[in-house]
């Protein structure tokens, strides 16, 4: 009779699918160069406004550096919110969801591929933002410990995109309402994360705001990267950040899986998965 | 020789939540179906009959409310991931894939959802491109393809994992006459490679007649008849199908339909000549005299009449068309 797939075969299929989904993402968003230019150019304008403002009120040049890093990290948040979270939603609208559901791959690996594609893509843009920002605004950086910066950066992305994976399932189930919520979330998160502030965990920022901001892994990562790249602090001072980011991932990943399974079984039960706009 | 069962459903039932206060919609009701290896099976039925619902359950996309569905003996609820490796589904009118990618890139992507190794995938894609005549569009973005070519790409996706069971939900929707014929040939050739099963739905009777080894006629979630097209024609129509040309058209079609012994009736108007062709399925020929007098009462003139070979459409009309429920 029908042989069951061995765990090795299973893993291979899922890795191939994840890779292919990542490839689609990269291929799709880098076909048009105008998109790339806009996605680097527009944030630079926002960043520029803050840098000039901070200079005008006499803050040290490090404040400008903080804003550049913040602006680069915001690119990831936008990507998670608009591309990752709405992934299933759009796949359903375009008739792709059925294709994914009928194939022998885990939906998690499709999401994983999407996350990998999204983070690589956004990294290119973020790097563009940072380089252009340094070039235009001449802000100082102190890269005492590049390896730690890399580590914190990767951990931040992992936590952030895991959050995106969780959002993807929620979005799909709640369709329009989730869409509106995301719309509502965008600006407050810009604010809460402190991306455009010189520092979020500073005594002048109210504690409630700090706490709310910390719910987003990006805030934690952002603060750690700023300490490492601007203040020249070492890994010793960002241990709590690293642990918090790992904890975020460990909590969010199973939640994302649960949400996805729940979404799938609910869809199969109620027949909602392949219906559009409800 | 006893053939192996490929698809089997046992008292399958599926309800959907209806409009509040109106109760549930029964999409499938006590469906018992058996489809064998090497068979092309067609599901015919009016809109909303439950065809797509049945296919979705068999493809592990939807759970049954009651009863059981088996693919190669495996339960669709419990063994979904195993089943997904050996099936594929093509829904007409859907265009899965990514518009910004070329035909070739999309096909490669589809192949990766089944984990095909690189060279193997390449060969298979080359073959499919050939069979579906997509050569000239290999590097065209999907978003720029015409509806028919998008549908071909969708069909190529259906074959990409060389499934043991292929589900085709209105596969010729949007295809031109030649492309539709081409697809039918393709499906027939593919079935001949052995160990394959096709379950398809269509609204084109001639297509089902030509393509399917057996057809099931479904209405309001119930399978009304299930057999080879040939046997259905003789069994259901009893062979007595009549064609009567009249002018002008009947003013009271209902009065003819209600004559005892009239099992099915369909009319086709020829606008140019003003001639209406009635196709009738009668229980027995003696009904004819009642019928002719009714036509005369209506003020219509009979131009021509004769017995006609029953078609699958006659079967369909007699089962679905005159309120068998
Ligand atoms: N997801 C759903 N939620 C609620 N009702 C549904 C759902 N899917 C189908 N139905 C209902 O179930 C019944 C059967 O629908 P189905 O799509 O299976 O018909 P069909 O035979 O494929 O029709 P068509 O020829 O129009 O494609 C219809 O009454 C339909 O409204
Ligand atoms: Mg249908």
- Identify whether B315 is part of a domain: no
Regarding the beta carbon of B52 and ligand 1, being less than 6 Å apart is answered yes
The pLDDT of residue B222: 95
Pairing state between β B87-91 and B165-169: parallel
Question: Where exactly are the structural domains of chain A?
Answer: 9-270
Ligand nearest the Cα of residue B218 is 1
- Residues A42-47 have a mean pLDDT of 87
Are residues A80 and A163 in contact, defined by beta-carbon separation less than 8 angstroms?
yes
Most confident of A45-59, A229-243, B37-51: B37-51
pLDDT at A264: 86
- B23 shares a domain with B42: yes
In terms of Cβ atoms closer than 10 Å to its own Cβ (0-12, 13-18, 19+), residue A205 is middle
The answer on B213 and B256 residing in a single domain is: no
Q: Is the dihedral of CA A206, A208, A214, A218 positive or negative?
A: negative
Domain that holds residue B103: 5-228
Tell me what pLDDT residue B323 has.
Answer: 40
Residue B267 lies in a domain: yes
Quick one: CA torsion of B187, B193, B195, B196, rounded to 10 degrees? -10
> Looking at the predicted structure, is the pLDDT value of residue B243 above 80?
yes
Closest Cβ opposite residue B109 in set A20, A98, A104? A20
Region of A111 (left: φ > 0; alpha: ψ -120 to 50; beta: rest) is alpha
**B318 falls within a domain:** no
pLDDT at residue A231 greater than cutoff 80: yes
Where do the H-state alpha helices sit in chain B? 51-58, 80-84, 103-112, 118-131, 147-159, 177-192, 205-211, 229-237, 253-257, 287-297, 312-316
Residue A11 pLDDT more than 50?
yes
Q: Are residues B27 and B124 in the same domain?
A: yes
Same domain, B120 and B252: no
Judge if B185 and B59 occupy the same domain.
Answer: yes
Residue B198 lies in a domain: yes
Contact B128, B49 (CB under 8 A): no
Q: How far is ligand 2, taken at its centre, from the CA of residue B65, in Å?
A: 19
The partner residue sitting opposite B113, judged by closest CB among A17, A23, A271, is A17
Position B69 in a domain: yes
Q: How many domains does chain B have?
A: 2
Q: Are A265 and B77 in contact (CB under 8 A)?
A: no
Flag if A98 and B113 touch (Cβ within 8 Å): no
pLDDT band for position B239 (50/70/90)?
low
Residue with more model confidence, B155 or B258: B155
CATH number for the domain harbouring residue B303: 3.30.70.260
Q: What are the structure tokens assigned to B237, written together?
A: 């129509």
- Domain holding B102: CATH number? 3.40.50.300
Residues B189 and B243 in one domain: no
Confidence band, pLDDT 50/70/90 cuts, at residue A254: very high
- B50 C-alpha to center of ligand 2: Å? 7
Task: Answer for the pair B221, B29: CB distance below 8 angstroms, yes or no.
Answer: yes
Query: Are B36 and B172 in a shared domain?
Result: yes
B25 lines ligand 1 (CB under 6 A): yes
In terms of domains, do B126 and B272 share one?
no
pLDDT, position B324 = 36
Cβ(B51) to ligand 1 under 6 A?
A: yes
Cα separation, A97 vs A90, in Å, equals 9
B18 in reach of chain A (CB within 8 A): no
Look at residues B228, B252, B271 and tell me which one is the last residue of a structural domain.
B228
Q: What pLDDT shows up at residue A275?
A: 59
Give a yes or no: residue B191 inside a domain.
Answer: yes
Longest dimension (CA), chain B: 73
What ipTM, to 2 d.p.?
Answer: 0.86
> Which of the listed residues B169, B195, B228 is the one where a domain comes to its end?
B228
Question: And the tokens for B258?
Answer: 């209600």
Q: Are residues B148 and B251 in the same domain?
A: no
Q: Are residues B254 and B224 in the same domain?
A: no
Using the predicted structure, report yes or no on whether residue B325 has a pLDDT greater than 60.
no
- B325 falls within a domain: no
Ligand 2 geometric centre to CA of B76 (Å): 20
Peptide bond into B197 cis (omega under 30): no
pLDDT at A260 over 60: yes
Q: Which of residues 38-97 of B touch A (CB under 8 A)?
A: 53, 56, 59-63, 72-74, 81-82, 84-89, 91, 94-97
Residues from chain A that touch B59, judged by Cβ atoms under 8 A, are 102
Q: Is B254 found in the same domain as B210?
A: no
First to last CA, chain B: 36
Say if the Cβ atoms of A102 and B88 lie within 8 Å: yes
pLDDT > 70 in chain A, percent: 94
Measured CA to CA, the distance from residue B314 to residue B236 in angstroms comes to 9
Residues on A contacting B at a C-beta cutoff of 8 Å: 1-2, 4-5, 9, 12-14, 16-17, 19-21, 23-24, 27-28, 31, 94-96, 98-105, 268-271, 273-274
Percentage, residues of chain B above pLDDT 90: 62
pLDDT digits 0-9 by tens, B77-121: 999 989 999 999 999 888 899 999 999 999 999 999 999 999 999
CB contact under 8 A, B88 and A31: no
Residue B286 has pLDDT above 50, yes or no: yes
Q: Name the one residue in this structure whose structure tokens are 């936008």.
A: A78
Span B37-80, pLDDT tens digits: 999 999 999 999 999 999 999 999 999 999 999 999 999 999 99
Across the interface, whether the CB atoms of B112 and A101 are under 8 A apart is answered no
């Amino acid at each position: 009779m029908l042989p069951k797939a061995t765990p090795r075969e299973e893993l291979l299929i899922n890795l191939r699918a994840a890779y292919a989904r990542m490839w689609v993402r990269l291929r799709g968003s880098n076909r048009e160069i105008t998109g790339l230019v806009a996605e680097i150019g527009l944030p630079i304008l926002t960043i520029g406004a803050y840098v000039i403002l901070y200079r005008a009120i006499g803050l040290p040049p490090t404040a400008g550096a903080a804003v550049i890093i913040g602006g680069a990290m915001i690119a990831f948040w936008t990507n998670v919110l608009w591309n990752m979270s709405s992934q299933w939603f759009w796949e359903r609208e375009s008739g792709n969801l059925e294709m994914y559901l009928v194939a022998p791959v885990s939906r998690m690996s499709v999401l994983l591929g999407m996350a990998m594609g999204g983070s690589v893509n956004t990294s290119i843009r973020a790097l563009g933002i940072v380089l252009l920002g340094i070039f235009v605004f001449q802000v100082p950086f102190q890269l005492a410990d590049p390896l730690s910066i890399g580590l914190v950066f990767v951990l931040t992305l992992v936590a952030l995109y895991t959050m995106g994976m969780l959002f993807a399932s929620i979005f799909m189930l709640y369709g329009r309402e989730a869409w509106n919520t995301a719309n509502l979330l965008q600006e407050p998160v810009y604010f809460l994360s402190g991306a455009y502030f010189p520092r979020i965990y500073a005594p002048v920022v109210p504690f409630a705001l700090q706490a709310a901001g910390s719910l987003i892994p990006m805030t934690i990562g952002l603060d750690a990267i700023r300490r490492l790249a601007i203040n020249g602090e070492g890994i010793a001072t960002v241990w709590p950040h690293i642990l918090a980011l790992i904890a975020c991932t460990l909590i969010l990943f199973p939640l994302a899986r649960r949400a996805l399974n729940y979404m799938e079984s609910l869809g199969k039960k109620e027949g909602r998965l392949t219906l559009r706009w409800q | 020789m006893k053939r192996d069962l490929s698809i089997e459903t046992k008292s399958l039932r599926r309800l959907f939540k209806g409009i509040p206060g109106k109760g549930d919609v029964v999409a499938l009701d006590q469906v018992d179906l058996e489809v064998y290896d090497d068979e092309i099976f067609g599901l015919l039925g009016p809109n909303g009959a439950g065809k797509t619902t049945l296919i979705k359950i068999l493809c592990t996309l939807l759970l049954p409310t009651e009863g059981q569905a088996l693919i190669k003996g495996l339960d669709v609820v419990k063994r979904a991931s195993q089943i997904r490796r050996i099936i594929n589904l093509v829904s007409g009118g859907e265009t899965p894939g990514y518009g910004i990618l070329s035909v070739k890139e999309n096909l490669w992507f589809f192949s990766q959802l089944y984990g095909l190794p690189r060279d193997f995938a390449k060969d298979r894609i080359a073959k499919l491109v050939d069979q579906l005549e997509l050569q000239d569009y290999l590097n065209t973005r999907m978003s720029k393809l015409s509806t028919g070519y998008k549908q071909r790409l969708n069909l190529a996706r259906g074959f990409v994992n060389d499934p043991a069971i292929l589900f085709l939900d209105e596969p010729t929707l949007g295809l031109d006459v030649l492309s539709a014929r081409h697809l039918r040939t393709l499906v027939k050739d593919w079935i001949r490679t052995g160990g394959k099963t096709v379950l398809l739905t269509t609204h084109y009777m001639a297509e089902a007649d030509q393509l399917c080894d057996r057809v099931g006629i479904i209405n309001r979630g119930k399978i009304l008849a299930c057999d080879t097209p040939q046997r259905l024609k003789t069994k259901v129509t009893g062979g007595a199908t009549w064609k009567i040309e009249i002018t002008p058209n009947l003013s009271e079609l209902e009065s003819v339909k209600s004559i005892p012994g009239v099992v099915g009736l369909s009319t086709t108007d020829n606008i140019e000549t003003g001639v209406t062709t009635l196709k009738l399925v009668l229980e027995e020929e003696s009904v004819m005299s009642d019928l002719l007098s009714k036509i005369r009462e209506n003020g219509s003139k009979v131009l021509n009449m004769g017995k006609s070979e029953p078609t699958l459409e006659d079967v369909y009309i007699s089962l679905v068309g005159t309120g068998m429920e």
